[in-house]
Amino acid sequence: MGDAGVLVPYGDVEAMRAAVRELIDDPAEQRRRAQAAARRGAELPDAADAVEAVLAAYPAPPGGGKK
């Protein structure tokens, strides 16, 4: 998550409450994290990238796969 989110221990309700409260109390931090999350999302591969990676992982069949 880094700068784009907040991690709390699984099941730790108090840690979650504190993390949410900190964000509620700090609108500038909310905006900063939202912008970081948007940047991270823009950097992630999209569906076309995934298809390209899968196709690149497998060699073309003999004859190019055409009958």
For the segment 23-47, what is each residue's pLDDT rounded down to a tens digit?
999 999 999 999 999 998 888 888 9
Nearest to 29 by CA among 8, 12, 5, 9: 5
The helix (run of H) or strand (run of E) holding residue 24 is helix 13-24
Question: Could you tell me which residues come within 8 angstroms of residue 27 by beta carbon, excluding any fewer than 6 positions away?
Answer: none
Q: How confident is the model at residue 1 (pLDDT cuts 50, 70, 90)?
A: low
Contact call for residues 33 and 23 (beta carbons, < 8 A): yes
Per DSSP, the three-state class of 16 is: helix
pLDDT at residue 37, as a whole number: 92
